Amino acid sequence: MNTKDKGFSTKLIHAGAFDDEFGSATVPIYQSSTFRFKSAQHGADCFSGASDGYIYTRIGNPTIRAFERNIAELENGYDGIATSSGMGAISSVYMALLGGGSHIISSDAVYGPARGVLEQDFSRFNVEASFVNTSNLDNIRKAIRPNTKVLYIETPANPTMDITDITACAEIARAHNLILVVDNTFSSPYLQKPLDLGADVVLHSITKFINGHADIVGGVIVAKDPAIYKKIRHSMVYMGCNMDPTQAFMVLRGVKTLAIRIERAQENAMKVAEFLQSHPKVAWIKYPGLKSHPQYELACRQMNGFGSMMSFGLKGGYEAGKKLMDNVHLAILAVSLGGVETLIQHPASMTHAAVSHENKLAAGITDDLVRFSVGIESVEDIIEDLKHGLSLI
């Protein structure tokens, strides 16, 4: 089925699918490491690129390709590259687009390991990185150097919920010949389409919203330009961080319900945010759907909804946050996000533990910050759980 002109929810279910010889209603798992050639010439054609046949699963696999094409269509990109983890996606992008002596500008409040791998590993190969609050465009302009190659933003940012103007960043990138990469994990293509707003590359940890069931780890990259796509795919193949066929099958199953999961979760999130905003023990809250959010108007323009992620701080700081996390029962104390279940965690000591205390504070990741991923449970139960935990602080 050609799904290019179909609605988003139809694409979720059918984009990337193909007919197999047995008429499977869903894309089958091609759990094979290698593939048989029809002839010596066919094998030669596959290796030369004259044929699009499959060779070896690290290079390509029918189940994985179905998933890659599904997400590429959802993001309105040229093609997709599936990886074994979100960090596999991030590392593939870094490896492809950065070289010795090059410079990258990144959001300061970004997924901890995405920052850590630049500071601790790529720095060993003379790759320089500047981390700035990209929600302030002047910070980006001031950080640009002659050797800057990539502008990497995460919006909404993890875990501060700062929002960066993708269209404005694309204009800056074009003016300075930079490649704009957007981590779209917090929004998913249902709520935000960075390529439509001018980005060159979009990536996701599909562990989160796209899969949505806390049972698969994976990543995906979508590029707008064929040349950039080929460059990143080359890096992924040679680094060997390809997705497994069973992973791809599971994510294809999970993505089918993305729209209805996000709709329910963000409906819950708005009610939870309003509850927290009025609670006397909550010092502050950042949720894009609240008018108190500094970039509320930008969120209304750039996103198709406000999502289900929020961060908040408690009066009483870290100790109060610790008590809350130890006294909620429905919300699971765990890292990750975007699943059907509600999760709560403390970034300063968990996801961003590898970031120095000084850099955490500079990025707005304070010791009192609690990150909350709202699930699809009955919202009354989520609020009651928070109410109970807050009563013990």
**So which residues are the catalytic ones?**
58, 111, 183, 208
Determine whether 11 is exposed, middle or buried from the number of CB atoms within 10 Å of its CB (0-12, 13-18, 19+): buried
Please, which residues bridge with residue 128 across strands?
Answer: 103
d(CA 243, CA 339): 20
Task: Name the strand (E) or helix (H) holding 261.
Answer: helix 258-277
The C-alpha atoms of residue 118 and residue 184 are separated, in whole angstroms, by: 19
Residue 313 to residue 336: CA distance in whole angstroms: 19
- E strand segments, 274-357: 282-286, 309-314, 332-333, 343-345
Bridging pattern class, strands 201-205 and 179-183: parallel
Q: Which helix (H) or strand (E) holds 82?
A: strand 79-83
Query: Taking Cα atoms as reference points, which of 262, 195, 257, 186 lies closest to residue 225?
Result: 195
E-state strands within 155-243: 179-183, 201-205, 219-223
CB 220, CB 67: distance < 8 Å = yes
Q: What is the dihedral of CA 127, 131, 137, 143, to 10 degrees?
A: -50
Closest C-alpha among 205, 118, 122, 135 to residue 169: 135
User: Maximum CA pair distance of the chain?
Assistant: 74
